[in-house]
A and B are shown apart, each in its own frame.
Chain A
Amino acid sequence: MSTDAEPILRIEGVVKKFGPRTVLNQVDLTVQPGEVVVLVGPSGTGKSTLLRCVNGLEEIQGGRVLFENRPVVANSKSVIDVRKHIGMIFQSFNLYPHLTALGNVMLAPMKVLGESKSVVEARARELFRKVRLEHRADAYPGQLSGGEQQRVAIARALAMNPSLLLFDEPTSALDPETVGDVLDVMEDLAREGRTMMVVTHEIGFARHVGDRIVFMDEGRIVEMGAPEEVIDAPREERTRQFFSSILRG
């Protein structure tokens, strides 16, 4: 990863308000291609909201978001084109319960990108191998465990060949024994050189897989840097408090 390359994502002075409450307050963040940025911090500090501003699921009240130099504007026509290149994985999986796992993965490439069924199916089967679920492709989401559902959700995001992946607390709703399967798949993706933004409380993952840790509190980025700096030798008192409390607990 070189820092002088053209960034894939630029978040500049973003302000997000829900009514009178300011959830994001002047957030600046730049993401380089191939970089894994891990967002950590207490609950309710705007990490997930920031992810949703990246693909225009949330309207912003100030600043701007540039994806591959194109502005991301919620509720605009152009936002559809941006979303074709950004995959998103949710805490609660959000698989479509009326479709099989394979149907979930194939839906958007066929209906949004207009690709043919045979092309999409071949790619989908390949993705099921990648997430180690080739034997579960014909199951319905309700028949899958949480860890399996989340891996299908990852395959669903990858099926669009995105250049940026957003993970919104992907393991927070999982049983402890299935968390590892999902993190393994995410680590594989990072090794492949995928560009990822990950909101998580898994500090082990942040330390080993993250290129950069962004610590957020109360709608602001408190500090960011390499994992060994932010986690082990934070400059800010607030960061030190946070990591010492969760690493102890």
Chain B
Amino acid sequence: MQFDDDVTHYWRFFLSGTLTTLWISWLALMLGGILGTVVAHMRMSRIAALRIFALGYTEFFRSIPPLMLFFGSYYGISFALDVNLNPFTSATLALTFTASSLMAEVVRSGIESVGTGQWLAATASAMTRLQVFRYVVWPQALRVCLPPATGVYISTLKDSSVASVIGYIELTRSGLLIRETTGSSFDVFLIIATIYFVINYGLSLCGGALERRFRIVH
């Protein structure tokens, strides 16, 4: 296939856009993973108020389209708290909210996959609740969480393309800018789509490899 020379001259912009997309979605996945783990444990808490809060949090952020969250965090938080959030911070926040609600469900199902027999054995051997989690439950849950967590990363990475609406220059926004500059249209979209596909398919393969690497023989 022959691309417009004009478009391929901008490969540096495609590259930096790609790296930005990878970075912000990775950051959101990590923050979302930590926050999601906390929310998942609140969801399983013995304290009813924490359970209700966690349920509300998960259902809310899971149900709101990313576009609303980008506007909400860029304009809404800036207005409400009278601060000036830059596009990067706003986009990270919005992506983290969505990723954490998805990760909360992933972590919860991972923890619930560890049978009560494991709890009984570890508790009977005089471990505290925290020790049971740390040495027995989390290591097993992590393996169950890996495949769906790969899915969350892929979906976060795709959601990050919406950050272009608040002026954050990631891969999609880079493409749109190149398109405006060169007047090209179809070529740019084809290149961007190909890059997204290659990244996400690669993530999918990595997830599969990790899953095989950590599989437990039952």
Contact = CB atoms under 8 A, between A and B. Distances in A.
Interface of A: 55, 57, 80-81, 83-84, 86-88, 90, 92-98, 107-108, 111-112, 140, 142-143, 153, 156-157, 160
Interface in B108-154: 115, 117-118, 120-128, 131, 135-136, 139-140, 143
B217 interface: yes
Contacts of B217: 97, 140, 142-143
B124 A112 contact: no
A96 B121 contact: yes
A92 B218 CA distance: 13
Contact of B139 (A93, A98, A108, A142): A98
Given A97-B216, A98-B143, A142-B217, A112 B125 contact: yes
A199 to B, nearest CB: 14
Contacts of A88: 120-121, 124-125
A80 B126 contact: yes
B125 A90 contact: no
Interface in B31-67: none
B163 to A, nearest CB: 38
B126 A160 contact: yes
A160 B218 CA distance: 26
A94 B118 contact: yes
B120 A108 contact: no
A94 B117 contact: yes
A76 to B, nearest CB: 12
A142 B124 CA distance: 22
B125 to A, nearest CB: 4
B200 to A, nearest CB: 29
B132 to A, nearest CB: 10
B118 A96 contact: yes
Contact of B218 (A94, A97, A112): A97
Contacts of B216: 97-98, 140, 142
Among A84, A107, A143, chain B packs the most CB atoms within 10 A around the CB of: A107
Contacts of A57: 120, 123-124
6 contacts: A80-B128, A83-B125, A88-B120, A96-B136, A97-B140, A142-B217
